Structure 1
Amino acid sequence: MRKKRVLLLSEGFGSGHTQAAHALAAGLRQLNPDIQTRVMELGNFLNPVLGPLIISAYRKTVSKQPKMVGLMYRSNYKKSLNRFMQLALHRMFYTHTSQVISQLKPDLVICTHPVPNAVVSRLKRLGLDMKLCTVITDYDAHGSWVNQEVNNFLVSSSLVKDKLINHGVPESRINVTGIPVHPHFWKTYDKAEIRQQFGLKELPTVLIMGGGWGLMYEDSLLEYMTEWRERVQFIFCVGNNDKVKEKMLANPRFRHENIRVIGFTKEVSKLMDVADVLVTKPGGMTCTEGMSKGIPMLFYEPIPGQEEQNCEYFIQGGFGEMLEKTETVDKWMKMIQQPDISSQYRQALLNKRNEEYNPLTCPKAVLQLLQ
């Protein structure tokens, strides 16, 4: 009997979309090793020259003009990608998408980004007989995700479900599963072993993340935080942003025995276990990983649009707060130096997580779709 095949399509506009695809693929294989999965950033795969150039331009826009990104997000909030745009994308990037699907012969296509979602939807309108599932990777539902050809939407929360219904999606096609996280986030690691692995001290620890692109800007509060470096240990994770890493390492403030500056790592799940608080850009993926670990979160510099919505969701849920003033920094630096209080706070978040989120729900929902 042929093994079930799942093709997961994403794009590189921010690392979270592709991370979600890999996380779901790993979760599926963990639950059922017989399932074959393939993750693809479709534009980069089909057009390896032009695709990265467009993503690079988008990255620069996000870092230099975030307000413009927010304006574009809000102005098209209720709109799907129109037919002309879908046709243009198809001609420029995705003319061979149907060939890729034909060669791989998946039983299910899952999209974790709106663009491949729109392209496969167009192919279905043109006659492609394929079950299409969309995983929304934020705590908001922009209209660009919505296509009537999608058979199932897997969403982060009931709030997103309601927003999709307002966009005209039938309730029967929507499952609230939470955003998938990698199985590494399903378990707890030994803190002593982590400290030994990374050369860390047994001190209150703050993990600061700038997302896959390492967009830390020039946030003065992040620098202010290091005033506590004699009593608190800091791990700055700047992703693939080598320029930020070099700049930080050239600054005497960050060259301290209790400050670590690291680039891209696959060990974020371990670092979250050894940390007492997470300071992060509020990407949907990172926030969900933080929630899965029950780690309190402080959010800084949300990009207008979906990151603002992510912030609002987690703040209202009690999982974090905005980092907007020095008093907030001081409050948390003092709290994590009180082990009993810090431990109680984290246990409360783990209890809340158990009520609201189960990392197995999303891959289990996909397994049901494959039956």
Structure 2
Amino acid sequence: MKAVILTISAGGGHNTAAKAINECFSERSIETVTIDAYKYFNKYLSDVVENGYLFSTKYVPKLYGKFYRMAEKKSDTDIKMKMGAFGTALVLRKFARFIAAQNADVIIATHIFAGELLTILREKGILDESVKTVGIVTDFTVHPFWEETNLDYYVTASELLNYQMVKKGIPEEKILPFGIPVHPKFSKKISKHEARGLLGVPNKDTVFVIAGSMGFGDVAHHIKNLDKSGHDFQIIAVCGNNKKLKAHLEKMKDKMNKDMFVYGFVNNVDVIMDAADCIVTKPGGLTVSEALAKKMHLILIDPIPGQEDRNSEFLLNCGVAIKVSETFPVDEAVHLFYDNKIKTEYYDRIIDAVAKPDAGMKLGEFVEKVCRKD
């Protein structure tokens, strides 16, 4: 059995989901080929999409948020607004030849643009009906334009999104609420004591702060507020590829009251999550899914207007997160976490119900059954 996994580099979540699916499928001995659906065929186009998303979310986030809201509000009678129409025209011919050569049983799209490519291939009769197509919705909402695709199945973060999907015109029988796929390592857990030993940090209360991949938000500001807390905890900060932030935090930590351990890009986020009591993070779909898989308590900061606002709404309405604001800073949020035992016990129960640590494995199992049946 063979699966082609299509991603597009606009934000880190789509690539992370693709890697997670690849890992889960490999454990089930499903052959996989993963490509960036634009970069593979037209690097210039990929750069335009990736840099455009980075610029808009980092430098003009309110404008990005307004466009996202406008897209959400477009009615069923509006002319279709194919987000990837220009990109589709540039890569479609090469993409069609590539897909034909793969002889795949299933093709999985972790981004709406890739889903549109598959839809056009199907409409033109280029993609054989026997090849199953699956879209992965990588947030706790249904992004605009997924309703303009025509795939066989759609994987969502939760069955609580079924109503929203059906409202958008996607048949319920196509919806697979398996959860956003995360790497299998996030479904395993070790004790805080063991995790802290592996990291070489003291065995004491720990707050994990992780910066978003796009560099949006003011992590340093939140850490300064954490340092004001009267609770005795240490901070682990992961900056990812944001070298400027890492250098800034390294300078900050010598002047802080609390101990802080600063990292750049790491491959052991799962171990850091096990070492920590709670996580301070932007509400990106993949990071949140990984944290929930680890049964972590979420403190949300600096959502990007658009899909991350919707993620915040979903998580707060489900009761699995605390959200920081100008009038409710992060030190107060952490105080609420540590000192309100009734609330933390409640969070534990709700997290158990919302978390989907085996999403990737469930998708692999489903793909095997469907393709074997056909």
Task: Tell me which interval the TM-score lies in, with the shorter structure as reference length.
Answer: 0.7 to 0.9
Deviates more, 1:9-18 or 1:52-61: 52-61
Q: Are the counterparts in 2 of residues 148 and 169 from structure 1 also a CA contact under 8 Å?
A: no
Amino acid at match of 2:5: L
Write out aligned runs for 1:137-148 (5 A).
Answer: 137-148=138-149
Partner SS for 2:274? helix
Deviation per residue, 1:179-215 (Å, 9 max, x gap): 1111011110243332233221112111111222343
Q: Are the counterparts in 1 of residues 109 and 136 from structure 2 also a CA contact under 8 Å?
A: yes
Structure 1 match to 2:302: 301
Deviation per residue, 1:113-148 (Å, 9 max, x gap): 000110111111111213211111111112312235
Amino acid at match of 2:65: G
Q: What is the distance in 1 between the residues matched to 2:354 and 2:81?
A: 37
Q: Are the counterparts in 2 of residues 63 and 217 from structure 1 also a CA contact under 8 Å?
A: no
Q: What is the distance in 1 between the residues matched to 2:225 and 2:83?
A: 45
Amino acid at match of 1:23: A
Q: In the alignment, is residue 96 of structure 1 matched against residue 86 of structure 2? A: no
Q: 1:23 aligns with which of 20, 23, 31?
A: 20
Write out aligned runs for 1:168-179 (5 A).
Answer: 168-179=169-180
Q: What is the distance in 2 between the residues matched to 1:264 and 1:254?
A: 23
Q: Are the counterparts in 2 of residues 221 and 325 from structure 1 also a CA contact under 8 Å?
A: no
Structure 1 match to 2:110: 112
Structure 2 match to 1:283: 284
- Unmatched 5+ stretches in structure 2: none
Amino acid at match of 2:155: L
Structure 1 match to 2:204: 203
Question: 1:328 Cα shift?
Answer: 5.2
Amino acid at match of 1:98: A
Write out aligned runs for 1:27-46 (5 A).
Answer: 27-30=24-27, 32=28, 34-46=29-41
Q: Are the counterparts in 1 of residues 283 and 300 from structure 2 also a CA contact under 8 Å?
A: yes
Deviates more, 1:35-44 or 1:327-336: 327-336
RMSD: 2.7
Structure 1 match to 2:10: 13
Q: What is the distance in 2 between the residues matched to 1:124 and 1:47?
A: 21
Q: TM-score when scaled to structure 2? A: 0.87
Amino acid at match of 2:200: G
1:217 and 1:178, CA in 2 relative to 1: closer, same or farther beyond 3 A?
same
* Alignment size in residue pairs: 363
Q: Are the counterparts in 1 of residues 61 and 304 from structure 2 also a CA contact under 8 Å?
A: yes
Partner SS for 1:45? coil
Q: What is the distance in 2 between the residues matched to 1:24 and 1:38?
A: 11
Q: What is the distance in 2 between the residues matched to 1:83 and 1:11?
A: 19
Q: What is the distance in 2 between the residues matched to 1:84 and 1:136?
A: 17
Q: 2:71 aligns with which of 61, 76, 82?
A: 76
Q: Are the counterparts in 1 of residues 300 and 322 from structure 2 also a CA contact under 8 Å?
A: yes
- Unmatched 5+ stretches in structure 1: none
Deviation per residue, 1:67-96 (Å, 9 max, x gap): 111111111125599477654212334431
